[in-house]
Every structure is written in C-alpha cells, then in structure tokens.
C-alpha cells in the first residue's frame, strides 16, 4: 500500500501547476491561453517578469524532486523511486486539477532527474547550457539534454529501472516539444534573447 500511495502522491504533487497557480495569485491571465500558451516558467517570464518566473521554475523543479526523495527515504527501492518520478512528471504534463492541460515538463523532468542521479542531472544541465550557448534555441537545448539523459543515467547508476524510466521521460518530453521541432526545421523557432515561441 505504501508503494501505491507514493506513486499517487507523486502524480498529485506533479499535477500542481506552478505557472497557473502563480498567475492566478497575481491575477494575471491563464498561461495556457496567454503568451505562448504553455504553462511554464518561460511563458510566466513573458507574462509577469523574472520574480514570478523564478518562483514557477522553483515550484516545477521541486515537485519533481521531493516526491522521489520521499520515495527513496521510505522504501530505498529504485522501482518505487522510478515510478514516483514518472508519476510526478506525467502529473505536470497531464495535471488532474487543470483539465489535464499541462506544460512540457522540462523543469519537472530535471527535478526528477536530480533525485534519480545528481551527477546525471549535472551532465544534462551542462548539455543544455552548451547547446543553448552554441545555437541560442532553448527548445533545442532541452531536446538534446533530454535525449542524452538516459545515457548519463546509465553511466551513473546500476539500476536498469532508472535507465528505462529516464528513457520514458526523455521520449515524453521530446514528444511535447514536437511543435518546436517543426519550427526548428522551418526556421521559425524563436531564439534565446529574441522572439520566443517556446
């Protein structure tokens, strides 16, 4: 029962959309309808500025990390840690409280990765920074970082279940970026520091 409860808690915590909650508290529009239409930190930055965006980023990150840390602490089982992390991640993508209309999962996915393997998270973050610096596309940096994440987790852990869970997380995140991939292919994607289409 504890194992099932932890997975359910992961999904319920993941379903808390930091962007929507913060925009409502500030009496702003719905980030699913305004700006880029994505309930994430980048869109909140556009709509409300750096402070609310930072709070959104922190909230999305923590809701990925904390449920997995709890699962590790109570069970020590990588299977439960993997399932709880995926539940939190998919809660962000398909939130129960917000008509299953969630974001793309970058911050939450990285938060989950931190709890699975801090070193793998560091490698993914460095990948993001390198791609972003070279090409100035935030979406491309996220896609490449998540594509590499399963390799980093395999390099750092001996739990095949975490390798598989990271691969699922990566595929789901890349799928959520499919519109960005189309814009990248057509040259219509906004660059960092310029027009942003997220």
Domain count, the chain: 1
Length of the chain: 198
- The whole-number pLDDT of residue 27 equals 85
- The whole-number pLDDT of residue 149 equals 97
Q: Is the residue at 191 inside a domain? A: no
Q: Is the residue at 126 inside a domain? A: yes
Q: Is the residue at 37 inside a domain? A: yes
Domain hosting residue 66, numbered range: 2-186
- The whole-number pLDDT of residue 193 equals 65
Residue 108 phi, psi dihedral angles, 5° rounding: -65, -40
Cβ count within 10 A of residue 155: 12
- The whole-number pLDDT of residue 198 equals 53
Q: Is the residue at 57 inside a domain? A: yes
Q: Is the residue at 52 inside a domain? A: yes
- The whole-number pLDDT of residue 28 equals 84
- d(CA 2, CA 40) in angstroms, rounded, equals 31
Low-confidence ranges of the chain (pLDDT < 70): 193-198
- What does the pLDDT look like over 41-79, one tens digit per residue? 888 988 888 999 999 999 999 999 999 999 999 999 999
Q: Is the residue at 193 inside a domain? A: no
- The whole-number pLDDT of residue 35 equals 77
For 47-93, strand residue ranges (E) read: none
Global pTM reads 0.92
What is the dihedral sign for C-alpha 9, 15, 18, 20?
negative
CA dist 198 → 29, 44, 71, 182, 190 (Å): 17, 11, 32, 12, 7
- The whole-number pLDDT of residue 194 equals 59
Q: Is the residue at 122 inside a domain? A: yes
């Amino acid at each position: 029962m504890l194992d099932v409860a932890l997975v359910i808690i992961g999904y319920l915590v993941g379903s808390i959309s930091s962007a929507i909650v913060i925009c409502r508290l500030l009496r702003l529009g719905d980030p699913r309808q305004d700006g880029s239409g994505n309930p994430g930190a980048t869109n909140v930055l556009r709509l409300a500025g750096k402070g609310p965006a930072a709070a959104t980023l922190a909230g999305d990150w923590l809701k990925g990390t904390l449920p997995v840390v709890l699962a590790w602490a109570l069970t020590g089982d990588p299977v439960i840690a993997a399932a709880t992390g995926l539940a939190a991640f998919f809660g962000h993508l398909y939130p129960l409280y917000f008509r299953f209309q969630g974001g793309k999962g970058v911050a939450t996915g990285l938060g989950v990765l931190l709890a699975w393997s801090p070193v793998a998270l560091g490698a993914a973050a460095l990948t993001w920074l390198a791609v972003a610096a070279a090409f100035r596309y935030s979406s491309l940096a996220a896609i490449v970082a998540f594509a590499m994440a399963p390799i980093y987790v395999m390099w750092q852990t001996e739990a095949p279940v975490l390798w598989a869970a990271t691969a699922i997380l990566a595929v789901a995140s890349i799928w959520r970026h499919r519109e960005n991939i189309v814009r990248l292919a057509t040259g219509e994607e906004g660059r960092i520091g310029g027009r942003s289409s997220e």
